[in-house]
Amino acid sequence: MTIPNECLYIELPLTDYREAWDLQQKIVRAKTENRLVEDVILALEHPPVFTLGRRGGRENLCVSEDVLAREGIDVVKAERGGDITYHGPGQVVVYPLLNIQRARIGVADFVTVLEDVMIRTADAFGVRARRNPLNRGIWVGNSKLGSIGLAVRKGVSFHGMALNVNLDLTHFSWINPCGLKNVGMTSLSKVRAQKITVNDVQPEIKKNLERHLGIEFKPMDAETLSSLPL
């Protein structure tokens, strides 16, 4: 796969889910209105949040609203594919805002590319992950290590992938992840039984994105986002 556009790569600090979602919407709108030529990839972490995809998922939330309110954890309905999932610190989330129509790649093939990126990244830390034909993402045994949920608007992709690095997995026990019962979740640190940080993993993700997208990124600081015509 080769992305024909110049692609900006932006690492953001810990960012509220709704704030990142709003930023994605602005970038997609700018691209579909031809105000922004460059493709954009955002890499970041979120504070604790549960998100619901197009298949719904609130029925797979296993704790009460009172518990969520007490813990201060929001539940957000988004237009991405998939069911319910959890995001939190210690998980690298990547949002590829790419014109996949111009790159002539279908959604299913693009999901495979993102799986390849996570598999290669996990391998760099000695973790052998694999695909599961029944549920997209990457797995170690019967436990899910990385998830994918995409949306596409007028040929531009958004939402994306989430790789578990060293996050607290407790909140996954509050849901049936991706709508699947009796499914465990894991992280790179848990599989290796050693400390692996987001700072360790992000350069590998960036390198593997470049490799599998066939592109060299143009880095951009988060502070200069305001220079984009959004």
Q: Are 76 and 49 in contact (CB under 8 A)?
A: yes
What is the DSSP pairing of strand 184-185 with strand 138-140?
Answer: unpaired
Distance CA 229, CA 113 (A): 28
- The domain total for the chain is 1
132 within some domain: yes
Which position has the higher pLDDT, 183 or 83? 83
State the pLDDT at residue 82. 81
Read off the pTM. 0.94
Q: Which residues make Cβ contacts (< 8 Å) with residue 60, sequence separation at least 6?
A: 83, 84, 175, 176, 179
To 10 degrees, what angle do helices 107-124 and 198-213 make?
A: 140
62 within some domain: yes
Question: Confidence band (pLDDT; 50, 70, 90) for 28?
Answer: very high
Residue of 215, 171, 151 whose CA lies nearest to 71: 171
Catalytic residue from among 178, 209, 213, 215: 178
State the pLDDT at residue 197. 98
State the pLDDT at residue 57. 65
Told to judge if 178 belongs to the known catalytic residues of this protein, a careful annotator would answer yes
3-state secondary structure of 215: coil
pLDDT single digits (tens) 47-65 = 999 999 887 667 778 888 8
CATH number at residue 31: 3.30.930.10
Instruction: Give, in order, the Cα–Cα distances in Å from 219 to each of 7, 9, 89, 210.
Output: 8, 5, 23, 12
228 within some domain: no
DSSP string for residues in 81-149: SSSEEEE-TTEEEEEEE-BTTTTT--HHHHHHHHHHHHHHHHHHTT---B--TTSSSEEETTEEEEEEE
Of all residues in the chain, the percent with pLDDT exceeding 90 is 73
3-state secondary structure of 23: helix
229 within some domain: no
Rounded to an integer, the average pLDDT of 184-203 is 97
State the pLDDT at residue 180. 60
Instruction: Evaluate if residue 179 carries a pLDDT over 60.
Output: no
- Structural domain that includes position 140: 7-218
pLDDT single digits (tens) 66-120 = 998 999 999 999 999 888 899 999 999 999 999 999 989 999 999 999 999 999 9
State the pLDDT at residue 207. 97
State the pLDDT at residue 177. 63
230 within some domain: no
Distance CA 102, CA 104 (A): 5
Q: Which residues make Cβ contacts (< 8 Å) with residue 124, sequence separation at least 6?
A: 204
CA torsion sign for 46, 52, 57, 58 is: positive
Average confidence score pLDDT of the chain = 92
Instruction: Evaluate if residue 178 carries a pLDDT over 80.
Output: no
91 within some domain: yes
227 within some domain: no
Question: Confidence band (pLDDT; 50, 70, 90) for 175?
Answer: confident
213 within some domain: yes
